[in-house]
Amino acid sequence: MRLNTAKEVHRPGPHQILARVECVGLCFSDLKLLKQFAQHPRKMEILRGLPPEVLAEIPSYVPGDKPTVPGHEATCRIVAVGEKVARHRVGERCLVQTDYRALPTSASNASFGYNFEGALQEYVLMDERVVIDPNTGERFLIPAPEHLSASSIALVEPWACVEDSYVNEERRAPRAGGQMLVMADPGRTLDGLAELVREHRPAHMSCWCPDEAQREVLRAVHVPKTHGGEPPPEEAFDDIIYFGSDARVIEMLNDRLAARGIMNIVLGGRRIGRPVSVGVGRVHYGMTRWIGTTGTNAAESYGHIPATGELRAGERMLVIGAGGPMGQMHVIRAVCSGTDNLTVVGTDMDDARLEALRRKAAPMAARNGVHLRLVNTQKEPLAEKFSYFAIMAPVGALVAAAVRDSLPDAIINIFAGIPAPTRQEMDLDAYIERRCFMFGTSGSVIRDMKIVLAKLESGQLDTDASVDAVSGMAGAVDGMAAVENRTLAGKIIVYPSLHRLGLVPLSRLGEQLPTVAARLRDGMWCREAEAELLRVAQ
């Protein structure tokens, strides 16, 4: 990564929008882009959604090994538009939704700050044919109010990713019109299958059942294209229902689960008896789900799936990696959520990061009646159980530990992006007996950003509580190094119009920019401090 002080400012073509970037937050995902670059799933070429001749007209479309500009947590103001731009006007202040899910790549989808240039620059070019959702007609440039700080608006984006992990609606039944695989050990009854298929009819069902009685049940449900024998190795399934308890079979079926697929293990009173290797990386990136029942009825397992990953009354929540930027957001969201009788325990292995979080979150927790405890687990190992886990570190063993330490009906939010191929041995017997549910989400949608923006405007949430340092363009490279080395507890906000300002942690504002430090609100970043920074640091 290098700072290019001579980069051209693109002139907008007929369909294009030129925006001045007010500020941009640095993100660990920017670091993933820098490390993986052309191999990053969102840096790859767009496969469909826009014709190649349209993409060729957009100079800020930079897939593959073309140089790009990172930065996807942005507030910008439109300064010029092409003559065919219909939905955007000069002068609008906007929050940028970055996730273009209607423009797939071979491994993910297009995104602002990846295969389209992002906001770590003073001016950014966008195309109206890209920034309108083709399914809903909604704008990806969301109008933002003038009275809020630019930083608080930009931070809606990472906060929306957090929000998405709580409000994303889970599928709670077999996918109607999907691909289903039914597999059974000898002697197992296929209880509940006819009911599930009747109500949520798959388009295609494969069976892998040794007993004639089992195959008779499958024939009776009258699903077209039902067949026996082993499915082709390349075939993946939206729902896999396994009536059995053989760990080797479960591990084999793990690889047959399609993206967003559900694995349903019906133990029928038996036990697996040993740890099972589970694809925890795909739970986050592939949004796969694992459910099960100790009984015999396959429908019962689907009934254990929560509607969303939202906190419940009486929750005992553990945030693992709470001292980092995203962990702080999970803790602050929880203590500001209005959840009754909530206990939140945040863990980290860095006292300074925990103390920074304590200063921010403890007053909020006290005001809202939330019991908050922050623990350095290197000094004070935890020996208690929880009903909700939010995992900020991309480590499969933490998922296995969450299962071990789970209360009945525990929710395990695998928020960190564990690499997709990662598998982890875990106690699936305990997972199923306790009706645990592990899930993961990636990115956000316009709905999530509007939810967070509404919370920000109402005062329920202050996204600026995440800010730990500010910078101009001169400090952007140092800022990315701080993200990589985890030397700051919170978010770094870059103001591209401040060309010469280096990286300044809030803890050192008093030394370098005393008039800005004097305008902090209880030590935290705010609109008044931002205005003073923009005045004195030009």
Residues counted in the chain: 538
Domain 16-160+446-458 superfamily per CATH = Medium-chain alcohol dehydrogenases, catalytic domain (3.90.180.10)
CA distances to 82, 356, 412 from 159, rounded to whole Å, are 32, 18, 19
d(CA 409, CA 437): 7
Q: Which residue has the tokens 């693109």?
A: 10
16-160+446-458 and 179-302: same fold?
Answer: no
Q: Which residues pair with 109 in a beta bridge?
A: 104
Which architecture characterizes domain 179-302 according to CATH? 3-Layer(aba) Sandwich (3.40)
* Residue 270 to residue 132: CA distance in whole angstroms: 52
Contact (CB, 8 A) for 536 and 513: yes
- The three-point CA angle 79-4-498 to 5° equals 55
Choose the CATH number for 316-427+435-439 among 3.40.50.10420, 3.40.47.10, 3.40.50.720, 3.40.50.300.
Answer: 3.40.50.720
pLDDT, tens digit only, all 538 positions of the chain? 788 888 989 999 999 999 999 999 999 889 889 989 999 989 999 999 999 999 999 999 999 999 999 999 999 999 999 999 999 999 999 999 998 989 999 878 899 999 999 999 999 999 999 999 999 999 999 999 999 999 999 999 999 999 999 999 999 999 999 999 999 999 999 999 999 999 999 998 888 888 888 888 888 887 655 555 566 667 899 999 999 999 999 999 999 999 899 999 999 999 999 999 999 999 988 899 999 999 999 999 999 999 999 999 999 999 999 999 899 999 999 999 999 999 999 999 999 999 999 999 999 999 999 999 999 999 999 999 999 999 999 999 999 999 999 999 999 999 998 888 899 999 999 999 999 999 999 888 899 999 999 999 999 889 999 999 999 999 999 999 999 998 888 899 999 999 999 999 999 999 999 999 999 998 999 999 999 999 999 8
Residue 175: both structure tokens together: 């996918």
Q: How many C-beta atoms lie closer than 10 Å to residue 121's C-beta?
A: 22
The pTM assigned to this predicted structure is 0.88
The type of residue at 186 is P
Q: Specify the pLDDT at position 229.
A: 57
Residue 223: predicted pLDDT: 66
- Read out DSSP for 114-153? TTB--SSSSEEEEETTTSB-TTT--BSEEE--TTS-HHHH
How far out from the chain centre does Cα 83 lie?
36
Domain regions of the chain by residue span: 16-160+446-458, 179-302, 316-427+435-439, 463-536
